[in-house]
Structure 1
Amino acid sequence: MTVGIPKEIKNNESRVGMTPAGVFELVKNNHTVYVQSGAGEGSGFFNQDYQQAGATILDTIGQVYAMSDMIVKVKEPIAEEYNLIQDGQIVFTYFHFASSEALTKAMIRSKAICIAYETVEDEDGSLPLLTPMSEVAGRMAIQQGAKYLEKPVRGKGVLLGGVPGVSPGRVLVLGAGTVGIQAAKMAAGLGAQVTILDVNMKRLRYVNDIMPSHVVTGFSNEFNIRKHIKTNDLIIGGVLLKGAKAPNLITRDMLKDMHPGTVIVDVAVDQGGCVETTKPTTHEDPIYIIDDVVHYCVANMPGAVPYTSTVALTNVTLPYVLKLANLGWRSACKLDRSLEKGLNVVEGEIVYKEIAETFHLEPVFA
């Protein structure tokens, strides 16, 4: 099979779909790999690294799409790429369809095989291809939140860890999944007082067992959220519904209950956000302010640390890429139920229930 690695063209996206090590494994399995010139530079991988691994370097993104049976990316295709995708071509990437009707309709029109990293699901319900980026984003959420709590960027002027004689900052984490736990871990490491809310008592018991005593757990409901937002300095949105739009746990009217300069980092922005006032931002222009509350809603947070993110992503995607290349998508998905759950749009039809429900359509099979 021919596998193409295009350069990401989303705003400030420096990750790349595969490391030279991944290319080496594909070539070793007798596949042809095309890499767009400069695709890996933002992550610290250069054309000669890919050539030494056995890839062929192509000059343009159009050539990569035109010559490849399968495209391996990081982020969803943007409008400039829609017409490059071919009928029957496999596109393996993060799609987050539920947050974009335009993307969904474009991929339906393309008649491509759209396999989403974020819905590949193991038997235990875990999401192996989403986990590493959730780990990165959860940890970054605290770094970014701490920065935007500074007064020069209109934050509250709070140092999360405090100093002797001054209480530490307070962090509220919505969701005890991978993002939430990693965020809580980082915030706790800085010395902040952390509260983590979830509806899953098993997850809360797990958090209670592994976290230090200054991380406390609570059940997530509107009453408790309204109570906690009044006293916390930094709020992390880490809620995920597999393949579906995130619920709005914080509504517009709740902003008036927050102290001016409170910071919200909505990591769920890829799935529409768990804050009603969330709208996607970029690393170039990461924040906006509503009712004196700072919103950080960058839709590709791990793109700011591309080396770490690219290596972590290739570690988990490569086995699936090899299956798809060795067997073809039909056989690979038939033999691997985890990979089959990654099928979102196939040959012009939505095949993932939650995405179909988001747009009030019927899935072809669920």
Structure 2
Amino acid sequence: MKVGCVKEIKNNEYRVGLTPDGARDFIAHGHEVYLEKGAGLGSGFPDEDYQALGVTVLDRAEEVWSKVEMMVKVKEPLEEEYPFLREGLILFTYFHLAAAPDQAETLLDHKIKAVAYETIEEEDGSLPCLAPMSQIAGRLSIQEGAKYLEKPFGGAGILLAGVPGTPKANVVILGAGAVGANACKIALGMGANVSILNRSIKKLEYLDNIFGAHVQTLVSSDSNIERVLKDADLVIGSVLVPGGATPKLIRRRHLKMMKNGAVFVDVSIDQGGCAESSRPTTHDDPIYIEEGVIHYCVTNMPGAVPRTSTIALTNATLRYGLKIADLGLEKAAIADPALAKGVNCYLGMLTNENVARATQKDYTPLELAICSK
């Protein structure tokens, strides 16, 4: 199979979908690899590293798009890339279509075979291609939140750990998945008071066993959310419904109860955000203020640490990409149920039930979609 990788054009996105090590594996499996010139530079991988392995480096993105059968990316295609989409192309990347119904329509219109990292789901419910970015985003959320709590950035002027004789910051984390657990780890490490809320008692028990008395675990309910938000200095939104839209746990009325200069970091923003006041921002313009609360809603947080993020991401995605290239998407999906759940669009049909529900589009099971073609 001819496999390609182009430079990401999303705002301040420096990750790359394929490292030289990944390219080596594709070539070792007998596939051809094409790379846009400079695609890996933002992550510290020069063209020469790829060329030494037999990768064909092309000057323009459109040349790569036109040659390949599968495009491996990091982020969803932007409008500037829509002209390069064509029927039957396998696009392997993050999509987060629940929050982007217009893009879903574009993929369907172009009859793309869209395989979404974020909905590849193993039998135990784990999301192997989302997990590494969730870990990074969770850790970054505390780092960014601590920064925007500083007065020069508009915050209340609070140090997370405080110092002897002063109160520590109160950190509230909504969701105890990979993002929430990693945010909790860093917040505790920085010395803050931490409360974490989740609907699953099992997950709360797990965090209690790890962190013990250092963290306050609470069942996620309207009353508990309202109670902790009143005293919060930093709130992390880390709620996830795989492939689906994020529930709005923070209402506008809650903002009026919160402290002026408090910070809200919505890591759920890719799936629509977990607050009614959430809207996507970029690394160039990361924050806005509503009701005195600083909102940080950057949609590609891990892009700020591209070297770490690229290596972590490709460690997780490579085996699925190789399986698609080796067997073809159809046989790979039949052989691997986890990969099959990653197929969001197939030749004009929407094949992920959660995405279909969130975008209010017709759902076709992947097996039927494949058989119909």
Q: 2:318 and 2:24 mapped to 1: Cα distance? A: 11
Q: 1:337 and 1:102 mapped to 2: Cα distance? A: 27
C-alpha root-mean-square deviation of aligned residues, in Å? 0.8
Paired residues, number: 366
Match in the other structure for 2:345: 345
- Percent identical pairs in the alignment equals 51
Q: Partner amino acid for 1:199?
A: R
Q: 2:103 and 2:359 mapped to 1: Cα distance? A: 12
Using the TM superposition, give the Cα deviation of residue 83 of structure 1 relative to its aligned residue in structure 2, in angstroms: 1.7
Match in the other structure for 1:259: 259
1:210 to 2:201 alignment: no
Q: 1:47 and 1:214 mapped to 2: Cα distance? A: 47
Q: 2:175 and 2:315 mapped to 1: Cα distance? A: 26
TM normalised by structure 1 equals: 0.99
Using the TM superposition, give the Cα deviation of residue 271 of structure 1 relative to its aligned residue in structure 2, in angstroms: 0.2
Match in the other structure for 1:246: 246
Q: Partner amino acid for 1:140?
A: L
Q: 1:355 and 1:25 mapped to 2: Cα distance? A: 32
Q: 2:122 and 2:101 mapped to 1: Cα distance? A: 27
Q: 2:176 aligns to what SS in structure 1?
A: coil
Unaligned runs of 5+ in 1: none
Match in the other structure for 1:303: 303
Match in the other structure for 1:318: 318
Q: Partner amino acid for 2:140?
A: M
Q: 2:338 and 2:352 mapped to 1: Cα distance? A: 13
Using the TM superposition, give the Cα deviation of residue 361 of structure 1 relative to its aligned residue in structure 2, in angstroms: 2.3
Match in the other structure for 1:46: 46
Q: Partner amino acid for 1:81?
A: E
Match in the other structure for 1:145: 145
Match in the other structure for 1:101: 101
Match in the other structure for 1:363: 363
User: CA deviation digits over 1:329-350, x for unaligned, max 9?
Assistant: 0000110111000010110111
User: CA deviation digits over 1:121-145, x for unaligned, max 9?
Assistant: 0010000000000000000000000
Using the TM superposition, give the Cα deviation of residue 214 of structure 1 relative to its aligned residue in structure 2, in angstroms: 2.1
Using the TM superposition, give the Cα deviation of residue 358 of structure 1 relative to its aligned residue in structure 2, in angstroms: 1.4
Q: Partner amino acid for 1:150?
A: E
Q: 2:3 aligns to what SS in structure 1?
A: strand
Using the TM superposition, give the Cα deviation of residue 212 of structure 1 relative to its aligned residue in structure 2, in angstroms: 4.3
Q: 1:10 and 1:248 mapped to 2: Cα distance? A: 26
Using the TM superposition, give the Cα deviation of residue 54 of structure 1 relative to its aligned residue in structure 2, in angstroms: 1.8
User: CA deviation digits over 1:93-148, x for unaligned, max 9?
Assistant: 00000011111111011101000000000010000000000000000000000000
Q: 2:23 aligns to what SS in structure 1?
A: helix
Q: 2:167 and 2:255 mapped to 1: Cα distance? A: 24
Q: 2:362 and 2:89 mapped to 1: Cα distance? A: 23
Maintained 8 Å contact 1:135/1:182: yes
Q: 1:361 and 1:154 mapped to 2: Cα distance? A: 41
Match in the other structure for 2:115: 115
Q: Partner amino acid for 2:352?
A: Y
Q: Partner amino acid for 2:26?
A: L
Q: 1:67 and 1:165 mapped to 2: Cα distance? A: 64
User: CA deviation digits over 1:168-211, x for unaligned, max 9?
Assistant: 11100000000000000000000000000000000000000001
Q: 1:83 and 1:238 mapped to 2: Cα distance? A: 34
Q: 2:10 and 2:196 mapped to 1: Cα distance? A: 32
Unaligned runs of 5+ in 2: 367-373
Maintained 8 Å contact 1:188/1:212: no
Q: 1:238 and 1:364 mapped to 2: Cα distance? A: 29
Using the TM superposition, give the Cα deviation of residue 53 of structure 1 relative to its aligned residue in structure 2, in angstroms: 2.1
Q: 2:117 and 2:236 mapped to 1: Cα distance? A: 23
Q: Partner amino acid for 1:325?
A: A
Q: 2:302 aligns to what SS in structure 1?
A: helix
1:32 to 2:24 alignment: no
Maintained 8 Å contact 1:83/1:110: no
Q: 2:354 and 2:220 mapped to 1: Cα distance? A: 23
Maintained 8 Å contact 1:118/1:130: yes
Q: 1:329 and 1:315 mapped to 2: Cα distance? A: 20
Which of structure 1's runs of 4+ aligned residues deviate more than 6 A? none
Match in the other structure for 1:128: 128
User: CA deviation digits over 1:255-311, x for unaligned, max 9?
Assistant: 000010000000000000001111000001100001110000000000000000000
Q: 1:212 and 1:306 mapped to 2: Cα distance? A: 33
Q: 2:33 aligns to what SS in structure 1?
A: strand
Q: 2:289 aligns to what SS in structure 1?
A: strand
Match in the other structure for 1:160: 160
Q: 2:217 and 2:155 mapped to 1: Cα distance? A: 25
Q: 1:79 and 1:151 mapped to 2: Cα distance? A: 37
Using the TM superposition, give the Cα deviation of residue 250 of structure 1 relative to its aligned residue in structure 2, in angstroms: 0.1
TM normalised by structure 2 equals: 0.97
Match in the other structure for 2:369: none
Q: 1:316 aligns to what SS in structure 2?
A: helix
Match in the other structure for 2:226: 226
Q: 2:123 aligns to what SS in structure 1?
A: coil
Q: Partner amino acid for 2:365?
A: F
Q: 2:23 and 2:268 mapped to 1: Cα distance? A: 31
